[in-house]
Amino acid sequence: MRSVALGCLEDMKAEETVEIDLVGKTSIADTMIITSGRSQRHVGSIADRVIQELKDKGFGNPRVEGMPACDWVLIDAGDMLVHIFRPEVRHFYNLEKIWGADRPADRLAG
C-alpha cells in the first residue's frame, strides 16, 4: 500500500515527501506520509490520484478529509495516513516535528 502511495506522489511531482514509521508510537496507523503540492489544484490532483490508485489496487475506499478546500487533504487508508498540504499550511501545522520525523532514519531519500 505504501509503495502505491509513494509511487503516486512521485508521479504527480509532490514535493518534500517524508515517511514516518508510527509502529510503537500510536495505534492510529503504521505509516504516515507527509507531502506538499504547489497549489490547491495540485494538492487536489495528488489526492485524487492516490485515492484512485489505492482503489484500483484493491486497498478499498480510504476515508478522505479536506478535499473541498485542498489546503490540507488527509487520506486515511487504515494502516497508512497520507497528508497532502499546501506548503504554508504544512509549515503552520509542522506534523513532522510533532511525530518526530527529524530523525534521519524516518526521512525518505529523494
Domains, the chain: 1-99 (3.30.460.10)
Residue 42's identity, in one-letter code, is H
| Nearest of 38, 23, 41, 35 to residue 79 by alpha carbon | 23
pLDDT at 99: 80
* Per-residue pLDDT at 109: 46
When pLDDT is averaged across residues 11-31 and rounded to a whole number, the result is 92
What share of the chain has pLDDT > 90, as a percent? 78
**In this structure, are residues 36 and 86 in contact, taking their beta carbons and an 8 Å threshold?**
yes
The pLDDT of residue 102 is 53
Cell of 68: 473541498
Beta strands in 1-110 (DSSP E): 15-21, 31-36, 63-65, 72-76, 80-85
Tens of pLDDT, residues 31-85: 999 999 999 999 999 999 999 999 999 999 999 999 999 999 999 999 999 999 9
pTM: 0.88
- The pLDDT of residue 30 is 94
Is residue 21 helix, strand or coil? strand
